[in-house]
Amino acid sequence: MRAVIQRVTFGKVSVDGQDVASIVNGLVILLGVGPEDTQAIAAELAAKVATLRIFQDEEGKMNLSCLDVGGQAIVVSQFTLFADTRRGRRPSFTGAGKPEVAAPLVDYFAARLRAQGLPTQTGVFGAHMVVELKNDGPVTIILECPQP
């Protein structure tokens, strides 16, 4: 499972011109699911994301988590995080999990964030989404679980 985590002051996801998720202050999480990923992996990654200390404390140091600052999250499924570009110019996505595996794991990941106390919204799995955000910092972190 791969996640690109962006600390944001604003995030929004739209499908067909309709807003499906919107937050102020928090995390926009682009989540890719691999074929071998499980609920245990999703739970481990969600725990790490919810407690990742990438928000500034009163001294300007990254010492606080999204939970600590009362932030929110948007989870956006993104199979393209598993793009293989080693050969040619057209990416291969054979390393991404099949939709029947990935969709429930994206939902489970979002549910685990909520269970930790992090208000979490999601995009629409498999839809063409427009993601808007204002990256704060900018702070962008890439996590992979299990570690390669």
3-state secondary structure the chain: CEEEEEEEEEEEEEECCEEEEEECCEEEEEEECCCCCCHHHHHHHHHHHHHCCCEECCCCCEEECCCCCCCEEEEEECHHHHCECCCCCCCECCCCCCHHHHHHHHHHHHHHHHHCCCCEEECCCCCCEEEEEEEEEEEEEEEECCCC
Check which CATH number belongs to the domain holding 30 and give it.
3.50.80.10
Residues marked active site are found at 78-80
- What are 122's strand-pairing partners? 75
> If you ran DSSP here, which 8-state letter would residue 65 be given?
-
Taking CA atoms, 56 is separated from 40, 67, 111, in Å, by 30, 12, 26
The pTM for the full model equals 0.95
Q: What is the sign of the dihedral through the CA atoms of 102, 65, 11 and 60?
A: negative
Alpha helices in the chain (DSSP H): 39-51, 99-115
Q: Domain range holding 104?
A: 2-144
* pLDDT tens figures, 16-57: 999 999 999 999 999 999 999 999 999 999 999 999 999 999
Number of domains in the chain: 1
* pLDDT tens figures, 93-140: 999 999 999 999 999 999 999 999 999 999 999 999 999 999 999 999
Token pair belonging to 103: 């969709």
How many whole angstroms separate alpha carbon 79 and alpha carbon 76? 10
pLDDT level of residue 147 (50, 70, 90 thresholds): confident
